[in-house]
Amino acid sequence: MHYGGYLVDQKVWRTFAESRGLLLIEDAAHAAGAVGAGLIGDAGAFSFYGNKNMTTAEGGMVTARSLDVLERIRRMRGHGMTSGTRERFGARAPSYDVTMLGWNYRLDELRAAVGLAQLQCLPRWIGKRAELALAYRDALSEHCPDVQLSFANAPSHSAHHIFAVVLPPSADRANVMARMRDAGIQTTIHYPPIHTLSFYRSRISGVHLPVTEEFARRELTLPLHPKMENADVIRVVDGLACALSRH
């Protein structure tokens, strides 16, 4: 997973997969616009949900190295049918076959048009996100030195989808979030650990991942979007510093 828009270490993951005979699939939901996203694994899945760097309101995109895999995905998204309406109209062949179990996962033309328009703006929006991320790093280093910055030394290009920080071990995150909300600053978390969610816990019980759990307990996602300005960053950091000091 390219968490936060930062690409994983390609060499490490490809070596890991190839040494074990595994397929490597990228969760690129955070990484639209990041150079190299979707090219590292055997396949990659992007999200264009409403809170992503570019959106079609819902839906997404799949990339794959194999043309056979792409063709299979195309059939899966359209009820498993061997041809779509457009192909049948062009070939003047009204019939088709269903060769596999499929679903209705097709992106409609209206959403595709929205996506194409957003795609043209994506480089500019990511540039703005990068500026804001740098402003966050400078302000947090000065005003919240006990807060750890995620990906501070990341070498790769990033889509800067979210700005995640790690609170001090003694911090009560719920209290911090509540105090920031009272100050008019929205925060969120990314994400509860999968193994703690009811569906998975009921199937694989007794799993304990101390590093994952400690990160998830202290992670806080600060606001980040292209309409913000540096003054907004300072306001958020001041609000976080105040919430931590009161705690």
Which residue numbers are catalytic?
52
Picking from 75, 154, 160, the residue whose alpha carbon sits closest to that of residue 125 is: 160
Question: CA–CA separation, 218 vs 102, rounded Å?
Answer: 40
| Inter-CA distances, 34 with 39, 42, 234, Å | 11, 17, 26
Q: Tell me how many degrees the CA angle 212-213-215 measures, rounded to the nearest 5.
A: 65
Question: CA–CA separation, 163 vs 169, rounded Å?
Answer: 19
Question: CA–CA separation, 193 vs 210, rounded Å?
Answer: 11
Question: CA–CA separation, 13 vs 3, rounded Å?
Answer: 14
The helix/strand/coil state of 165 is strand
Question: CA–CA separation, 185 vs 164, rounded Å?
Answer: 15
Question: CA–CA separation, 82 vs 36, rounded Å?
Answer: 31
* Strand duo 25-27 + 219-222: pairing: unpaired
Q: Tell me how many degrees the CA angle 54-60-65 measures, rounded to the nearest 5.
A: 115
Q: Quick check: bond before 6 cis, omega within 30?
A: no
The helix/strand/coil state of 49 is strand
